[in-house]
Structure 1
Amino acid sequence: MAMTEFRSYKAEAAVEGYRIVKPGSADYTAVKSTGPTDFNIGTSDSLDKSTGEMVDCAVGDIHEVRLGGTVVRGASLTSDANGKAVSTTTVGHRCIGYAEQSGVVDDVITYIRAPHVL
């Protein structure tokens, strides 16, 4: 699986691996997403990062994310309060893309990046 197109952001707080991230309070900073209406910019790479470290965020086509619940292949993915991906069908939720495979809580799955709002 090709994992390309990453962008680096400075972590304003700790960001664990495979989490959905959103912009921080300043340009080129990022924090873990906290819910389905956040403006999500991508997912963190596999490495845990501390405040002030650079976080490589996946902004390309196909990447990996950690699940916060059961997800079925093809589901629209948004963030839970911990930056983990959960499926949604709720109007107004901002999504990072679609699950390429099914999984359960704490699985790391691939997803097809296609930002959209339901």
Structure 2
Amino acid sequence: MNPHTKTFTASGAIGHRRQVKFTATDGVVALATAPTDVIAGVTDFPGGATDGKRIDVVLFGPAEIECGGTMTPGATFTTDATGRAVAAAPAAGVNNYIGGRVHENTVIGDYATAFINPSRIQG
């Protein structure tokens, strides 16, 4: 196993190449659905996982992610309501949790190479 990929238990259905967030339960992740969610990483589990099943999550490093909007190379991304990557653009004084940076131009529905490095930014 890659040291930057960890297997978690899915809370609810989670698709492949989607961002996930930590939950209050150790070892359990759920689909990230808002920029205020603390992003754990991006799933790397073709076919996804159903509730209670195991799912692999890239915590740091290169991965592919499904995009929910237009971004340019180097853009920081957060999550939309379905766990897809969208450009992070917090208002002044507002925090957004981010999953990392994309490496290429994207539009909605693209699968893009990204560097996963969860953190937080402030507008």
Question: Is the TM-score greater than 0.5?
Answer: yes
* Aligned residues with identical type, % of pairs: 28
Partner of 1:63: 63
| 5+ long unaligned stretches in structure 2 | none
1:32 maps to a residue whose letter is L
| 5+ long unaligned stretches in structure 1 | none
Which protein has the bigger strand share? Answer: 2
Say whether the 8 Å CA contact 1:97–1:113 is kept in structure 2: yes
Number of residue-to-residue matches in the alignment:
116
* Equivalent in 110, 115, 118 of residue 115 of structure 1: 118
Say whether the 8 Å CA contact 1:4–1:58 is kept in structure 2: no
Across the aligned residues of Structure 1 and Structure 2, the Cα RMSD in angstroms comes to: 1.4
Partner of 1:102: 105
- Residues 13-92 of structure 1 aligned to structure 2 (within 5 Å): 13-47=12-46, 48-90=48-90, 91-92=94-95
TM-score, normalized by length of structure 2? 0.87
Distance 1:116 1:107, change over 3 A: same
Report the alpha carbon displacement of residue 115 of structure 1 after superposing the two structures with TM. 2.3
2:18 maps to a residue whose letter is R
Q: Distance in 2 between matches of 1:59 and 1:51?
A: 20
